[in-house]
């Protein structure tokens, strides 16, 4: 039907399907959903407008929608052992905005991880709403260890007296000690918001400490390690439930994406299975193995290793920038993203490093044997940076390799 109505868009979707099948995806914030999640997100639920919350909608005909949203909420609460859940945020950014607006006023101080050290735009970057609306101050990582220095974070907190501390990261490969963050927040009288967008799946599987018992607010996304549809969520202590819900609707969003909420519900159910825990264990195993093998090839691994799904690689000793590596690997059929390293001498649009992750390749069934081949491909591609004909030949080999693996969770 789509091909008849709009052949241009139909062909573009087919093209994207081929691209995903024929390339190796090492972007740490991406994954592949199951066919069940695709069925839910692509369903006629997209037809229904459902402003409000279950039992309190602004449109009629929401009795079935109410049940779907309640199921999604209940599953998320059970998955993380939380008091309250909101599954309506369209993305992690909206989830963070809603949390801030639920208890903060404009120009209140928030203390978040510096974007240059591995934080996220919504943790106070000046070019983001979080830095525009609030007074943002930052913590980073230790120059020697490249890891969080909790004593230094406490010093900054005592000096700046933030109303809220935000912990969590978009390119930090080590365990985050949420308990220590909670202790720091309590000492300075701040709320704590833990952004677990990247590590939600690992936490759900019990493979990374949970912030739920330590933080007033927890935000996250459903499309990274949690392996659901693109979207966000909020968990909070029961005493903040009404404030958080009001901040989402009518605060910053109108009608929720009901078809996506249904997809979230399916993903939450999948995350409660033994196979999901096994999958998360494989993510970490693959990540650690890849970091170790890359180090053997003289790639400098930031922090010296990884505890989660991602690896940050400093390419300076390889005499290539992050953006150049991203472009060359992309031409060969390996997708990565350029990424600043701690104390990076280059601007972020160029960057000295790349960030890679193993969630997506693990979903496709790849393990150590395949990772060995991928590292060989990376080495070979970077050696061809001035040889486009060799890159084209390599892309054919990578296409044949990648095409053997399915692009959906099983």
The three state secondary structure string of 346-376 is: CCCCCCCEEEEECHHHHHCCCCHHHHHHHHH
Nearest one of 312, 288, 316 to 301, comparing CA atoms: 312
Q: Which of the residues are catalytic?
A: 49, 51, 195, 221, 224, 230
Q: Are residues 284 and 328 in the same domain?
A: yes
- 1 in a domain, yes or no? no
Considering the domain architecture, whether residues 52 and 177 belong to the same structural domain is answered as yes
Q: 122 with 134: CB under 8 angstroms?
A: no
- As given in the structure block, the two tokens for residue 178 are 């949420």
Taking residue 397's Cβ as centre, other Cβ atoms within 10 Å add up to 14
- CA dihedral for 330, 171, 360, 223, sign (positive or negative): negative
Residues 308 and 246 placed together within one structural domain of the fold:
no
Residues 110 and 257 in one domain: yes
Q: Is residue 217 part of a domain?
A: yes
Strand 52-53 relative to strand 56-57: parallel, antiparallel, unpaired? Answer: antiparallel
Quick check: is 238 in a domain?
A: yes
Q: Are residues 377 and 397 in the same domain?
A: yes
**Residues with Cβ within 8 Å of residue 327, at least 6 apart in sequence:** none
What was the pLDDT predicted at 386? Answer: 87
Boundaries of domain holding 67: 37-270
In the chain, how many domains are there? 2
Query: 292 and 196 in one domain?
Result: no
Tens digits of pLDDT across the chain (410 residues) = 899 999 999 999 999 999 999 999 999 999 999 999 999 999 999 999 999 999 999 999 999 999 999 999 999 999 999 999 999 999 999 999 999 999 999 999 999 999 999 999 999 999 999 999 999 999 999 999 999 999 999 999 999 999 999 999 999 999 999 999 999 999 999 999 999 999 999 999 999 999 999 999 999 999 999 999 999 999 999 999 999 999 999 999 999 999 999 999 999 999 999 999 999 999 999 999 999 999 999 999 999 999 999 999 999 999 999 999 999 999 999 999 999 999 999 999 999 999 999 999 999 999 999 999 999 999 999 999 889 999 999 999 999 999 999 999 87
Q: What is the pLDDT of residue 363?
A: 98
pLDDT of residue 271: 98
Within-domain flag for 27: no
Q: Are 299 and 329 in contact (CB under 8 A)?
A: no
3-state secondary structure of 153: helix
Any domain includes 133: yes
Task: Pull the structure tokens for residue 34.
Answer: 């199951």
Same domain, 238 and 325: no
**Do 285 and 262 sit in the same domain of this protein?**
no
Which of 166, 148, 153 has the alpha carbon at shortest distance from 108?
166
**pLDDT, position 72:** 98
Residue 406's SS3 state is coil
Do the domain assignments include residue 384? yes
Chosen domain end from 253, 270, 287: 270
Same domain, 240 and 373: no
Any domain includes 335 = yes
Stated pTM of the model: 0.96
Three-state SS at 383? helix
Give the end of a domain, one of 246, 270, 294.
Answer: 270
How confident is the model at residue 1, as a pLDDT?
Answer: 87
* Whether residue 193 sits in one domain with residue 72: yes
> Would 409 be classed as within a structural domain?
no
Do residues 219 and 316 both lie within one domain? no
Report the CATH number that the domain containing residue 351 is assigned in CATH.
Answer: 3.90.1150.10
Write down which residue in 216, 236, 270 finishes a domain.
270
Give the whole-angstrom CA distance, residue 357 versus residue 311: 6
Three-state DSSP state, 225: coil
Q: Are residues 292 and 197 in the same domain?
A: no
């Amino acid at each position: 039907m789509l091909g008849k109505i709009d052949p241009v868009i139909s062909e573009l979707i087919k093209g994207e399907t081929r691209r995903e099948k024929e390339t190796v995806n090492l972007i740490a914030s991406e994954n592949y959903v199951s066919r069940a999640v695709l069925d839910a997100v692509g369903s006629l639920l997209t037809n229904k407008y459902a402003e409000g919350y279950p039992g309190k909608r602004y449109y009629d005909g929401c009795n079935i929608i109410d049940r779907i949203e309640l199921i999604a909420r209940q599953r998320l609460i059970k998955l993380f052992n939380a008091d309250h859940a909101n599954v309506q945020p369209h993305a992690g950014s909206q989830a963070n905005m809603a949390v801030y607006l639920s208890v903060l006023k404009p120009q209140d101080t928030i203390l978040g991880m510096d974007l240059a050290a591995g934080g996220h735009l919504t943790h106070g970057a000046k070019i983001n709403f979080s830095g525009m609306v609030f007074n943002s101050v930052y913590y980073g990582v230790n120059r020697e260890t490249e890891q969080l220095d909790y004593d230094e974070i406490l010093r900054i907190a005592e000096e700046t007296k933030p109303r809220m501390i935000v912990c969590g990261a978009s390119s930090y490969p080590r365990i985050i000690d949420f308990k220590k963050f909670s202790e720091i927040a309590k000492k300075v009288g701040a709320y704590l918001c833990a952004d677990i967008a990247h590590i939600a799946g690992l936490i759900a599987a019990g493979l990374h400490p949970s912030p739920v018992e330590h933080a007033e607010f927890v935000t996250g996304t459903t499309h990274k390690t949690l392996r659901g549809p693109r979207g966000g969520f909020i968990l909070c202590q029961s005493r903040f439930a009404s404030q958080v819900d009001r901040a989402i609707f009518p605060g910053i969003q109108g009608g929720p994406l009901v078809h996506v909420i249904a997809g979230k519900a399916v993903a939450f159910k999948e995350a409660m299975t033994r196979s999901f825990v096994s999958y998360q264990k494989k993510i970490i195993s693959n990540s650690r193995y890849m970091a170790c093998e890359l180090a053997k090839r003289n790639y400098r691994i930031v922090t010296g290793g990884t505890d989660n799904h991602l690896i940050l690689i400093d390419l300076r000793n390889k005499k290539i920038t992050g953006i150049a590596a991203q472009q060359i690997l992309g031409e060969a059929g390996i997708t990565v993203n350029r990424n600043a390293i701690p104390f990076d001498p280059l601007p972020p649009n160029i960057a000295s490093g790349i960030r890679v992750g193993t969630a997506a390749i693990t979903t496709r069934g790849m393990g150590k044997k395949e990772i060995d081949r991928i590292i060989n491909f990376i080495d070979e591609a970077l050696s061809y940076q001035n040889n486009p004909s060799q890159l084209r030949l390599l892309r054919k080999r990578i296409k044949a390799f990648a095409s053997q693996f399915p692009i959906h969770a099983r």
